[in-house]
Structure 1
Amino acid sequence: MKVLVVGGGLVGLSTALFLAWHGVECTVVERHQDVLRHPRMRSLAPRLVEMYRQVGLEPELVRAGDAFADHAEFTMVRAETLGGVHTVLDKHQDAGLADDISPCRGIPIDQDRAERLVWRRAKQLGADVRFGVSLKDFSHDGAGVTARLRAADGTVSTVTAEYLIAADGANSGIRHRLGIGMTGPGEISRMLSILFEADLDPLLGDRSVHMAFLTQPHPQTYLMSLDPQRRRWVLGTSDPGDRGATRDDCEALVHAALGGEPPLRILPPVPGSTSPALRFGLGAAVADRFRDGRVFLVGDAAHHMPPPGGFGGATGVADAHNLAWKLAAVLTGRADSALLDTYHAERHPVAEFTMRQALARASTRLGADWTDREATIVERTAVMMGYRYGSEDIVSAEPAAVGTRFPHLWLPSGESSLDLFGSGFVLLTSSGGEAWGRVGHESLTVNRLPIDLPGVDPDGAILVRPDGFVAWRGRACPDDPQATIDRVMAASLHGNSPVTESSSVLSPTEFPPPSVFRR
C-alpha cells in the first residue's frame, strides 16, 4: 500500500477520503469495532463542508443533517443547574460572517453520523477501512514503513507502506513512540462525558436551551442538546475520579446537573464497551513536529484543543486536506519530496493560533482561568477560513493574497469559484488574460473567468493549489507567461512556494530559473 492511516475517527477517515480522491492507495486501521456513538462535534462548520464538497460528499451530509438549530436560534446559557435561573450568553464573538463568504452552510449533524458518511465515501473511492484492527508496532526508514497490525481475534500481520499517518488521537501512541513533545498548557482538566436520553421539558418549560454551562455537579460542567425534540443530551463535567464507573453514578451526576430527577436512560458511548461514560483529558497543546521522516501527525495526534468553538475536528480535517494532495503529488512523481516539509511549516502555526482561540473561549464560557492573555478572540469563521500560510499576521490579508484560501465568488454559470479546485493546480485569469490561455503544464488547468479577480489587473493571473489556497499571484501578464508558469510550478512542487517558510527567497511575481530547484 502507499499510505497507512492509523485511527478511524473523523480525521483519520477524512484523510483516507482525501487520499482516495487523489487516487492514492490507502488503508485505515481503527482499534474500535465501529465509529464511536458519542456525538462529540455537534455540527460541521462551513469550511468543513467546503472541503467535503470538493470530494462530492456535501449533498449526502446535507440530507443527513437535522433541523437542530441555526446560529440565530442557538441559545447558550449559564446557570447553576439546568432547572435553575438562566443567564443567556452573548454570542457576539462567534456571530458568523456574511452568507456570501462561502457557497456552503453549516450542517447540524452529530459527528458519529458524519463519520459514517465519510467512511462510506472513502470506500466508494477505493480506500480500505478496517475496524477492529490496531497498530502493534512499526518502524520506518528512508525506504518506507513496516507495521505490524493486530486484528480483533489476536491475529498479527505485517504490512508495508511508503508513508504512515498518525490519526490516533490525543494520546497518540505513534507520537509517543517517535518522541515528539507537545508545547502548551497541556491537560487543563479531566472530563467525564455521559450520553443520555430524557424528557427535560418539565424542567425547561418554554425556555429554549441548546448549550448550558453549569456549576453543578462540578464547576466547568456543560450540557448540550443533541436533537430538535430535546430528548438526547450529552453531559460533560470535571472527572469526579471515583464516580462515573456505574450507571447509577452517571444518573446521579446527570440529576445533579439538571437540578431534578426526571427518568433517563444512559447510552453507552463506545461500541462494544460496557462503560457508561467516556473519560478524556481536556487539554491545549501542539506537537513540536508534525512530521518525522515518513510519519505525519494529523488531528488530535498533532494538537489538543478545548471544545468551545468546535475547532478541534475542523483543524484536524484541514490537516488531512493539506497533506493529502502533497502526498499524492510526491507519490506520482509530480513533486519533489521536499514538498512534504511544507506540511509542518503551514499547519503548525495555524494549530497554535487556533489552540489559543479555543482556550480564550473555554475561559469565557466555562469560567476557568485558561486564557492566553495575549489572545484576542477572533470571530469563529475567520479562525477557520481566514488564516494565511507563511505570514506572522495569520488572519490579516486581502482577498486572494498569497497563502490564503481563494475566496468564494459566484460565477455566471451558477457555480462557486471554489468548485474549480480539488484535483490539480488551477490558473485563474480574467478578461485580458488571453496570453495565459496558451500556457501548459501537466499539473495545471487554466480557467479564464468572465469576472474580475481580486488583487490583479485584467491581464493578471492567480495560481491556486489543489487545496484551494493561493500559491502565487501575478498582477499583470509578463512578456513570457509560459516561462513564468514553468518557474512558478517548479517552486510550488518543490517545496519553495511562497506559502512556505522559504518564501523570503521568492517574490510573488519573480522566480529564479528552474535550475535552483531539486530534481
Structure 2
Amino acid sequence: MSESTPVLIAGAGLAGLSTAVFLGLHGTPSLVVERHPSTSTHPKARGQQHHVMEALHLAGLAEAMVEASPKDTGFLIRIAESASGPVFREILHATFLPLEGLTPARSADASQAAAERILAERARELGAEIRFATTLESFEQDDSGVRAVLSDATGTRTAHADHLVAADGHRSPIRERLGIGTHGRGTIGRSIHWLIRADLAPAVGDRQVLYYLQNPRLSGGSGTVVSTDEPDLFVVGVGYDPEHESIDDFPEDRALEQIRLATGVPGLAAEIVAADTTVAGMRVADRFSSGRVHLVGDAAHTMPPHGGLGGNTAIMDGFYLAWKLAAVLRGEAGPGLLDSHDAERRPVGELIAENQFKNAIARSMPHLKRPEDTPPIEDPGMLLFGYRHNGAVVPEPGDDGELLEDPTEPTGRPGSRAPHARLTTSDGELSTIDLFGREFVLLTGSETWAKAAEQLAADLGVRLRAHLLGGEMTGDWTARYGVTTDGAVLVRPDRFIAWRSRGTGSAADLEHALRTVLDR
C-alpha cells in the first residue's frame, strides 16, 4: 500500500505538531506519524513565552493556551534544600515579566500535555492527518522526494513525501540514519523521577512551582519537585549514577525516603503513580538539514530544562520552517530557501542550549562550572526577541552578522525581528506585529513603493502585501525600522526583516530582494 503527502512529519510532540499547524496555516497539508499511542500524558515543559504566543495568535491558539494555564498569580522557581525550605533563591518565572514595549502578546503557562492536545486539534482543523501508534521504520531520499516505510498494528505501507521533518526526539533515529553528529556539553546528569500523588499544599501552597534542590542527602546531591495541572500530582526527581545503579535499586521504601527528603515532609503519605529515568544534556545537531530532511525540536537541539525555553524553541522551529516549506511547495521559492533552515536556526539553537546549560550550573549544578564559563543571559527580552537570522535575508553593507541585538533599541536591520510599534486605525489600535504572519509584507509610507509591491506580487506570483502607513493607518514606526516615510521594509512571514530601503528606491531593488530571499 502506498500514499503521498507534501510533508511527512515524524513525531507528534511540540515541534512536530507546531510544524503541522503552521504548514496548515500556509495552506500545506501534512501527515504526522507518532510511535506513541497519544500526545504526551506526562508533565514536561510548561509555559509559552511571548514570542511563541505571537506565533500561536496567528494560528488562533493564544487564548486556548491562556485558558489551559493555571489560574493563579504566577509560576515560581525556587532553589532550595527541599520543597519545605530553606530557600536559597527565588525566581519569578520570566513568563510573567512585563515586555509590553516589545510585543503586544501576553504569555501563557499551559503544560506540555495540554499544549500538545491543543496543537493536535488545530493541526487537524488545518488539514493535517495525525496517526498515533505509527512508526517510521526507514526512509530514503533522492531528487524526487522522500520514500518512507511506516508501520502500525495493521502492517506496513509506503509514504512518498516531498520533504520529511524529523521531530522524533533527542535520540532521533532519523538524525542517526542521516549520519548527522552532535556537539555541545554532552550528558550532564541523569535522574530518576516519580510521579506522585500527595498533599503538598502545606509545603508549596497553591501556586505552580519548580524546585531545584541542592541537598547532599539526596541521591546524586540534587533533585527537583515540580507541580502539575492537578493540585495533588507532582513530579519528584533525584540524581543517580547509571554505572552503579538502576531504577531497580530504588524500591518503594527507598523511593519514599528520597521523596520525603525532596519535599521536606517526614512521613509524607505519597502514592507513587509512575517511575522513570531521564537524561539531562546539552547537544546540538551539526546540521539541521540534509537534502529533503529537516530537523526540529529535540532532534535538532537538547538542553537542560533550566530557563524554560526548550519547548518554546521547539515550537518556534516549526513556525520558522513551515513558511519556507510551504513557499517551496507552492513554487514561490526555489529549493535554496530551505538551506536557510540550518543557517538560521542552528546558531539560535546553540545560543539557547548553551544559555540553559549555564542556567543549570547556576541553579543546581555548580560543580560543572568551568573557569571560562560566563554567566547566563538573564534578560528574557534578549533571548525571545534579540536573536537575528542570517540566511534568507539581504544584508546591508557593514553588517557583521552578529547573532544578538538589544530589542529595546531596535535597528531595523535585515535579519532582525520586525520591531513592535503601535499604530492607530479607524478600528482602534494595533501593532505592526499584527500585520505579519501570512505573507511577505512591505511596510512603507510611499504610494510608489506600495504600487510597486502590488505589481511585483502579480508578476512573480508571490504572496506579498503592502501596508501603506500614514493614511488611515498611522503611527511612529519609521525610527524603529530605520527608514524615512519614503522608505520601505520587507518583512518575511515569520516577522523577520528580509530587506529595507531607507529612503526612495526602485521596483527593481524590491524585486532583487525578493528573488534573493526566495532563491528565484
> TM-score per shorter chain, which class?
0.7 to 0.9
Match in the other structure for 1:330: 328
Q: Deviations over 1:81-121 (max 9, x none)?
A: 22342223356999845323211111121110011000000
1:255 aligned to which of 250, 254, 260: 260
Mapped contact 1:135–1:149 kept (Cα < 8 A): yes
> Would the alpha carbon gap of residues 51 and 371 (structure 1) be closer, same or farther in structure 2, given more than 3 Å must change?
farther
- Residue type matched to 1:256 in 2? L
Mapped contact 1:247–1:266 kept (Cα < 8 A): no
Give, in whole Å, the separation in 2 of the partners of 1:393 and 1:490.
24
- Residue type matched to 2:201 in 1? D
**Higher strand fraction: Structure 1 or Structure 2?**
2
- Residue type matched to 1:82 in 2? A
| 1:316 aligns to 2:314 (yes or no) | yes
Q: Equivalent residues in 2 for 1:392-407 (5 A)?
A: 392-396=401-405, 398-407=410-419
- How far 1:243 sits from its partner (Å)? 5.1
Q: Equivalent residues in 2 for 1:368-517 (5 A)?
A: 368-371=366-369, 373-378=372-377, 379-390=379-390, 392-396=401-405, 398-412=410-424, 413-430=428-445, 433-439=446-452, 440=454, 441=457, 442-449=462-469, 450-451=474-475, 452-453=477-478, 454=480, 455-478=482-505, 480=506, 482-494=507-519
Match in the other structure for 1:361: 359
Match in the other structure for 2:113: 112
Give, in whole Å, the separation in 1 of the partners of 2:275 and 2:270.
14
- Residue type matched to 2:78 in 1? V
Give, in whole Å, the separation in 1 of the partners of 2:122 and 2:161.
22
> Would the alpha carbon gap of residues 94 and 63 (structure 1) be closer, same or farther in structure 2, given more than 3 Å must change?
closer
- How far 1:208 sits from its partner (Å)? 7.0
Give, in whole Å, the separation in 2 of the partners of 1:357 and 1:388.
16
Q: Deviations over 1:272-305 (max 9, x none)?
A: xxxx223222110111111111111111001111
Give, in whole Å, the separation in 1 of the partners of 2:6 and 2:93.
46
- Partner secondary structure for residue 19 of structure 1: helix
| 1:237 aligns to 2:262 (yes or no) | no
Q: Equivalent residues in 2 for 1:12-23 (5 A)?
A: 12-23=16-27
Mapped contact 1:400–1:470 kept (Cα < 8 A): yes
> Would the alpha carbon gap of residues 283 and 76 (structure 1) be closer, same or farther in structure 2, given more than 3 Å must change?
same
> Would the alpha carbon gap of residues 424 and 416 (structure 1) be closer, same or farther in structure 2, given more than 3 Å must change?
same
Q: Which moved more, 1:411-420 or 1:83-92?
A: 83-92
- Residue type matched to 2:416 in 1? T
Q: Deviations over 1:33-67 (max 9, x none)?
A: 01121121121111111111111111222222222
> Would the alpha carbon gap of residues 473 and 349 (structure 1) be closer, same or farther in structure 2, given more than 3 Å must change?
same
Equivalent residue pairs, number: 477
Give, in whole Å, the separation in 2 of the partners of 1:209 and 1:289.
37
> Would the alpha carbon gap of residues 415 and 88 (structure 1) be closer, same or farther in structure 2, given more than 3 Å must change?
same
Give, in whole Å, the separation in 2 of the partners of 1:61 and 1:386.
24
- Partner secondary structure for residue 109 of structure 1: strand
Give, in whole Å, the separation in 1 of the partners of 2:449 and 2:271.
64
> Would the alpha carbon gap of residues 466 and 39 (structure 1) be closer, same or farther in structure 2, given more than 3 Å must change?
same
Give, in whole Å, the separation in 1 of the partners of 2:411 and 2:16.
31
Match in the other structure for 2:394: none
Q: Deviations over 1:115-153 (max 9, x none)?
A: 1000000000000011110111111111111111111x2
- Residue type matched to 2:383 in 1? V
> Would the alpha carbon gap of residues 209 and 60 (structure 1) be closer, same or farther in structure 2, given more than 3 Å must change?
closer
Give, in whole Å, the separation in 1 of the partners of 2:285 and 2:353.
12
Give, in whole Å, the separation in 2 of the partners of 1:125 and 1:277.
36
- Partner secondary structure for residue 494 of structure 2: coil
- Partner secondary structure for residue 395 of structure 1: coil
2:34 aligned to which of 30, 37, 59: 30
Q: Which moved more, 1:249-258 or 1:484-493?
A: 249-258
| 1:194 aligns to 2:197 (yes or no) | no
Give, in whole Å, the separation in 1 of the partners of 2:35 and 2:127.
21
Mapped contact 1:359–1:371 kept (Cα < 8 A): no
- Residue type matched to 2:448 in 1? A
- How far 1:396 sits from its partner (Å)? 1.6
- Partner secondary structure for residue 364 of structure 1: helix
- Partner secondary structure for residue 341 of structure 2: helix
Any gaps of 5 or more consecutive residues in structure 2? Answer: 391-399
- Residue type matched to 2:465 in 1? T
CA RMSD of aligned residues (A): 2.3
Mapped contact 1:77–1:213 kept (Cα < 8 A): yes
Match in the other structure for 1:505: none
Give, in whole Å, the separation in 1 of the partners of 2:347 and 2:367.
23
> Would the alpha carbon gap of residues 166 and 24 (structure 1) be closer, same or farther in structure 2, given more than 3 Å must change?
same
Match in the other structure for 1:273: none
> Would the alpha carbon gap of residues 192 and 293 (structure 1) be closer, same or farther in structure 2, given more than 3 Å must change?
same
Any gaps of 5 or more consecutive residues in structure 1? Answer: 268-275, 495-518
Match in the other structure for 1:162: 162
Q: Equivalent residues in 2 for 1:142-221 (5 A)?
A: 142-151=143-152, 153=153, 155-203=155-203, 210-214=209-213, 215=215, 216-221=218-223
Mapped contact 2:219–2:258 kept (Cα < 8 A): yes
Give, in whole Å, the separation in 1 of the partners of 2:95 and 2:376.
9
